[in-house]
Structure 1
Amino acid sequence: MEKALWYLLTATRGGENRLRIVRALSEQPKNANQLAEELDVGYKTVRHHLDTLEEHGLVEAGDQQYARLHFLTDRFKQHRGRFEEIAQQVDTDDRPGAAGDSG
């Protein structure tokens, strides 16, 4: 799971959006429309990231057909502490003046 977290949050484009989606789902289950509105991101972008998070076992969709809610998986919850450590590094690296920031 740790490799998946590093890959999903730091090694690919979209890591910041996936981080924001996971944090939003930590508060409560949400559907893609709710996430798009809350995060001010396009619906298709949210769907793409939800699909990626599902493929890697971090998120699972509920059974309902319409307005399907998404939940964090039990597997993810077991690694929540590591997620927070990686997320903190991502947050720190994104600040102006962080190492590697050119300007």
Structure 2
Amino acid sequence: MTNQLLEFKEILRSRQESEQRKPDKQTRKLLFYLFTSTRGGFTRLRIIMSLLDKPYNTHQLSQELELDYKAVQHHMKVLEKNNMVSKIGEKYGAIFHLSNFLEMNISALDEAIDKLDRKMNHKKVYI
């Protein structure tokens, strides 16, 4: 997973525009919550990284990521509700792509990846 997180960071860095605005505090909190504070954060990050390349429907994403269709469907609802993805069409054939909001704040996703990496690789030890 760590190698995949590093790969995600490189992809994001290559896509970032030089004049990109700094995300506000609430946006950063939202991204951290969606991608680092919940059990499905890594899966949602994988979905977002797939959507960077091209739009997909839920079935295509489940095949691309080798995940259960219902799991992808759940994550897509969470991402859509939080304005991370936009949907074109209805029901089974609906196509998802990154929202304008996420496109404008993509640099904050880089920070979320760092936080997720630390969380996944540095377990807290309680004595």
Normalised by the length of structure 1, the TM-score is: 0.85
Distance 1:92 1:4 in 2: 18
- Structure 1 unaligned runs (5+)? none
| Alignment-derived partner of residue 59 in structure 2 | 33
Code of the aligned partner of 2:74: H
| Alignment-derived partner of residue 100 in structure 1 | 124
What is the CA distance between 1:89 and its match in structure 2? 2.6
Structure 1 residues 56-78: Cα deviation after superposition (integer angstroms, max 9, x where no partner):
00001112555211010111111
Q: Which moved more, 1:77-86 or 1:59-68?
A: 59-68
Find the residue that maps to 1:61 and give its secondary structure: strand
Q: Which moved more, 1:53-62 or 1:84-93?
A: 84-93
Normalised by the length of structure 2, the TM-score is: 0.70
Kindly tell me: are residues 11 and 34 of structure 1, through their superposed partners in 2, closer, same or farther at Cα, counting changes over 3 Å? same
Cα RMSD between the aligned structures?
1.9
Number of matched pairs: 100
Code of the aligned partner of 2:29: K
What is the CA distance between 1:81 and its match in structure 2? 0.4
- Higher RCO (Cα < 8 Å, 6 or more apart): 2
Divergent runs of 4+, >6 A: none
Structure of higher CA gyration radius: 2
What is the CA distance between 1:93 and its match in structure 2? 3.2
Distance 1:29 1:11 in 2: 26
- Structure 2 unaligned runs (5+)? 1-26
User: 5 Å matches for 1:25-64?
Assistant: 25-63=51-89
